[in-house]
Amino acid sequence: MYSIIARLYLFLKIAVIVVFETVTLGKARCKCKTKLDGKVALITGGNTGIGLETARDLARRGATVIIASRNVEKSEAAVKDIIKTTGNTKIHFKSLNLLKFSSIIKFADEFNKEYNNLDILVNNSGTTMFKQNLSEDGVERVIQINYVGPFLLTNLLMNKLIASKPSRIVIVSSKANEFHEIDPDDIAGVRPLDALTRYSNSKLYNILWAKALAKRLPEGVTANAIHPGIVKTEIFNTLTDRMRKVVLWVISVFFKNAEEGAQTTIHACVAPELELVSGEYFEECRIRLANKVTRDEKLVDYVWENTMKLVNDRLPRPL
């Protein structure tokens, strides 16, 4: 009985998000013609959905694009697809599993040795999971893939980003952050919560993280969070079959495809007027006010400090 009630509650919360998004529906596009020849862009989860379309756009602009993902087959297919559709052969795949700190460390070590610069880092990977389980690092899996793993990765690549400035960090968040129930003393996400709340928490942490980074980054390195809109992508694959079919049908009729959903991410990556803009939250290629709790500077710092402690407690060498 609890399982049925939990699923109904989750479905109703998703419905609220859909209705709210319908009211503010838009399909803004990134219109700038910025070229990226000689630039290096790294996109987590760049083998499908918004990440794939972001990678394709940056490739068209001439960037060297690295797709970071754990799915080898999909990533190799994505590389071939991008090369075929853009003519840019500087597209590569590197294996990365954000559910394992050991994989993140290995990836960062190899990347730092292999590439001389990192001009754009897009923390795009995201997931939803109905069941709440911890990773081998003791972090709830949605929180780790959506927030803690990217947090670690970005810190391990920070010296490369600083050396490459002007450089940009783009963090994909979601309007779903409005349904958060965050506990900054439980960054690992051990407290029992429903699936949407865990997802919402991870996306609110993303916005807080962008603001914390902006306070700590040197001039020339920026960090911003974005909401792509409601998009038909594979992120919904972890929902139950019936729920996924309903959600994807609604999205396909009323909302965005992956190419449309990638536009705000692309804008944050390349718009020349954003070169010095940092710590902001974007929707429809415009700066918007985020959740009011993100304007609590003490909370921003507290979440940063607790996340840093969580990560350092699990690393062989601290950041």
Catalytic residues: 199
Burial class (CB in 10 A: 0-12, 13-18, 19+), 105: middle
Q: What is the 3-state secondary structure (H, E, C) of the chain?
A: CHHHHHHHHHHHHHHHHHHHHHHCCCCCCCCCCCCCCCCEEEEECCCCHHHHHHHHHHHHCCCEEEEEECCHHHHHHHHHHHHHHHCCCCEEEEECCCCCHHHHHHHHHHHHHHCCCCCEEEECCCCCCCCCCECCCCCEHHHHHHHHHHHHHHHHCHHHHHHCCCEEEEEECCHHHHHCCCCCCCCCCCCCCCHHHHHHHHHHHHHHHHHHHHHHCCCCEEEEEEECCCECCHHHHHCCHHHHHHHHHHHHHHCECHHHHCHHHHHHHHCHHHCCCCCCEEECCEECCCCHHHHCHHHHHHHHHHHHHHHHCCCCCCC
Residue type, 214: A
Task: Give the span between the Cα atoms of 318 and 105, in whole angstroms.
Answer: 12
Residue with tokens 């009630």: 5
Burial class (CB in 10 A: 0-12, 13-18, 19+), 241: exposed
Task: Give the span between the Cα atoms of 13 and 16, in whole angstroms.
Answer: 5
